[in-house]
Amino acid sequence: MNNKIRCAGFGGQGIVLMGKLLAQAGMMEDKHTTFFPQYGAAMRGGTANCNVIVSDDDVASPMVETPDVILIMNGPSLDKFEPVVKSGGWIFYNTSLIDREVERDDVQVVKVPANEIADEVGSTRSANMVMLGAVAEKLGVVKVDTLIKALDVTLHGKGEKLMNLNREAMKRGAALAA
């Protein structure tokens, strides 16, 4: 099962939101789920990453030591998490900001030009949504539809314009990975 996920990137890239949305969607699909931001040593200006588990069974440990899937939004995060992903696991990475290739050959790689697609949609800040759409479509951790519903809960109260952009970005990510 591809249920242990780690999302990572720069501080401002909405990494925590990615994790929350996955967990929210997981819950809406009646799954067991935990979300835990790695806040430990991170300071202002640092990098952000979080642990998400979406599972049919009870979640014992919320720590994702050996992720099945990593969602990587920037270069330093790829350097950090490429080595720990499970053999046979998945690396989704943002080719807009990362110009190197994945080195491991025992993992499956999905390249997502997240910023570029987000730019096309009209909002660079929605790059994280593109990534989510891609992983949902590709691996079915949660359904894209549920993710879109989760948006309404998690971003409750944000303007409709932003919501539309986010939805659109997710769909584009999904389309890319289909």
Partner 1 sequence: MSDRVLMKGNEAIGEAAVQAGCQCYFGYPITPQNELTAYMSKRMIEEGRVFIQSESEIAAINMCFGAAAVGMRTMTSSSGPGISLKQEGISYMAGAELPMFFVNVMRGGPGLGNIAPSQADYFQCTRGGGHGDYRTVVYAPSDVQELYDYTFLGFDTADRYRIPTMIAADGILGQMMEPLVLTEYKQPTDLPSKQPWQLGDPSTQEPIWMTSVHLGEGKLEAHNLKLQKKHDLIEANEVRYEETMLDDAEIVIVAYGTSARVAKAAMLKAREAGIKVGMFRPITLWPFPNPQLNALADRIDNFLTVEMSLGQMIEDVRLATCGKARIHLHGRTAGGVPVEDDIVDQLKKILASKGDEIIRNF
Partner 2 sequence: MEQQVFGMPKAMKPEQTLYCPGCGHGVAHRLVAELVDEFGLRDRAIGIAPVGCSVFADKYWNFDVISAAHGRAPAVATGMKRGRPDSFVICYQGDGDLAAIGTAETIHAANRGEHFVTIFVNNAIYGMTGGQMAPTTLIGQPSQTCQLGRDAAMMGHPIRVCELIKDLPGVAFAARGSVDTPKNVLTVKKHIKKGFQNSIDGKGWSLIEIVSPCPTNWGMTPRKALTWLRENMLEHYELGVFRDCDAGNGGGA
How far is it, in rounded angstroms, from Cα 59 to Cα 73? 26
Which residue number, 11 or 113, has a Cβ lying nearer to partner 1? 11
Q: Is 156 in the site for partner 2 (CB under 8 A)?
A: no
Beta-sheet strands, E only, within the chain: 4-10, 32-37, 47-55, 69-72, 90-94, 108-112
How far is it, in rounded angstroms, from Cα 107 to Cα 86? 8
How far is it, in rounded angstroms, from Cα 143 to Cα 132? 10
With CB under 8 A as the contact rule, the residue among 30, 40, 41, 44 that binds partner 2 is 44
Beta-carbon count within 10 A of 11 CB: 14
Structure tokens at 32: 């067991």
Q: Which of residues 70-129 bind partner 1 (CB under 8 A)?
A: none
Which residue number, 2 or 51, has a Cβ lying nearer to partner 1? 51
Which residue number, 27 or 155, has a Cβ lying nearer to partner 2? 155
With CB under 8 A as the contact rule, the residue among 46, 88, 122, 140 that binds partner 2 is 46
How far is it, in rounded angstroms, from Cα 11 to Cα 38? 12
Least separation, in Å, of the C-beta of 44 and partner 2? 5
Least separation, in Å, of the C-beta of 149 and partner 1? 13
Site residues (vs partner 1, CB under 8 A): 20, 23-24, 27, 30, 32-37, 39-41, 43, 59-63, 65, 153
Site residues (vs partner 2, CB under 8 A): 43-46
